[in-house]
Structure 1
Amino acid sequence: MLDLRTAALFILVEFVFCFFSFLLKAVMFPLRVLFSIGLFLVLLKLRLLRASGAKQPGVAQQIGGGTFVTSDRTRCTWRAGEAGEAVKVWVNCERRGGVSKTRCEYFGRPRSCPGYNSDPKVFWKQVARAFKKIRDKVCVDGRVLVKAGMCKHAPRDANLRLDRNSVERSTAAPTTPPVQPTSATCVKRADQRRTAEEFCSSWASVCAFFMSMLQSEDC
């Protein structure tokens, strides 16, 4: 009789254990499914953002850039970014010491050029050479286009054109040279020497030395 009770108790415990195990699996399965779906959606979104070149709002993703120096030794830097269906290029030029600064923007639609769509890196390398070629006309002559050789036969708007309204120039005021002592100070020093020669005779140099100690200004 005792063996039957023990067997029944063992069966009951086994049943309860199996029931709770099944219940736990039944609860965890939907959670695992939801977690897997959520993780898949996050990874898919990140891949789509990376593929489309998405960027933070208000921040233009740089797609090209470079530097060049004009004939008067002004150093200029430029960077290109997407602006909707077009691209925009920001140019900043500064003379050594910040004596003069110039800023301007160029814009264009290089996507209308088949070469740009196939190899944009080569396009921006050719734009860098074009900026160096027209270096003295950058931010100055709106009639001069920044052309890439690969887009020679593309529509005109594939080239970069200066936005005249974006040109900004500033010139620093020249530094003021230090003020030289007035001639009145030097005249006063000369009067001291004559007074020393008149009243000190052979001791004139000694008198002039002590009088100069009392005079703080220099010629």
Structure 2
Amino acid sequence: MTPCTWGNHSLNHPKQRQKLITFVSLSSGARNKTRGADKTVVPTTGRAQRSGNKGAATGRGKFSLKDEMQCTWGARDMGDAVRLSVKCEDPKARVQGGITDMKCEYTAKPQSCRGYGSDPKGFWKQVARAIKRLQGKVCKDERALVKAGMCKRAPREAHFKLDITSSVISAQSGDPETPPPLPTRSTSAGPTACTRRADHRKTAEEYCNSSWASVCSFFFSMLQGEDC
């Protein structure tokens, strides 16, 4: 049997075998290291895009209307669309009368606007200015769109439109005025007719003697019929 050789050296010697084992191990590790360096991690485009949209849909702010109603708004991501909720209230109207509360929702697909993803901060600043300009049309006019300036050339769906079915407006009449007090009637009443009747009878008795009793009785009955 011919002994194995490595180069010009025999592998039967223990030292030579140890060198060969070490060489094979190093070669195997180098190959594995090279394979790991060649592997490229490709991010999922869909996930990255959805994550970017959620990050952009964080706009919120405050504004006031000319009638002194104080409003707040906030946006949230709904998957393929973004919903913008608006709430307004006027505490004075609860006493003086008028519109006390308003709330509604606007929806859009701003993903079709390039600026929504590239400059979300600027996008929401422009949305805040646009919704404030609506004034009396807030939560009332579904034809009035909320448009960011950077999305002028974007499709119509990129602009926020009022969902009229979500609009709720509450009004209240003012507190009723307290009517003026009615004049009080005097509790002291004048003499009644029947009281006067007693006076007539007394007078008749004073001026009539017994001989005129029948005439005075007839006269008294006439006075009693007129007074009572």
TM-score with structure 2 setting the length: 0.53
Report the Cα offset of residue 182 of structure 1: 2.2
Report the Cα offset of residue 174 of structure 1: 2.4
Q: Which runs of 5+ in 2 are unaligned?
A: 1-46, 95-99, 190-228
CA distance in 2, matches of 1:68, 1:171: 20
Deviations along 1:92-116, one digit per CA (max 9) or x if unpaired, are 1112335321111000001111110
Alignment of 1:89 onto 2:84: yes
CA distance in 2, matches of 1:69, 1:97: 14
Alignment of 1:188 onto 2:186: yes
Map of 1:74 onto structure 2:
69
Map of 1:26 onto structure 2:
none
Q: Which amino acid aligns with 1:85?
A: D
SS of equivalent to 1:182: coil
CA distance in 2, matches of 1:133, 1:177: 36
Alignment of 1:65 onto 2:63: no
Report the Cα offset of residue 178 of structure 1: 3.6
SS of equivalent to 2:146: coil
Contact 1:102 1:168 in 2 (8 A): yes
Deviations along 1:101-157, one digit per CA (max 9) or x if unpaired, are 111100000111111011111111000010111122111111111000111111110
Trace 1:8-157 onto structure 2 (pairs within 5 A): 52=51, 63-99=58-94, 100-157=100-157
Question: Which is greater in Rg?
Answer: 2
Report the Cα offset of residue 90 of structure 1: 0.8
Contact 1:68 1:135 in 2 (8 A): no
Map of 2:222 onto structure 1:
none
Contact 1:104 1:167 in 2 (8 A): yes
Deviations along 1:173-197, one digit per CA (max 9) or x if unpaired, are 42233454322x2x438x69xxxxx
CA distance in 2, matches of 1:170, 1:154: 35
- Give me the identity figure in percent: 46
Total equivalences in the alignment: 135
Structure 1 runs (4+) greater than 2 angstroms displaced: 96-99, 176-182
TM-score with structure 1 setting the length: 0.55
Task: Tell me which moved more, 174-183 or 107-116.
Answer: 174-183
- Judged with a 3 Å threshold, the aligned counterparts in structure 2 of structure 1 residues 96 and 62 are, in CA distance, closer, same or farther, namely farther
Q: Which amino acid aligns with 1:95?
A: D
CA distance in 1, matches of 2:160, 2:170: 24
Pairwise CA RMSD = 2.8
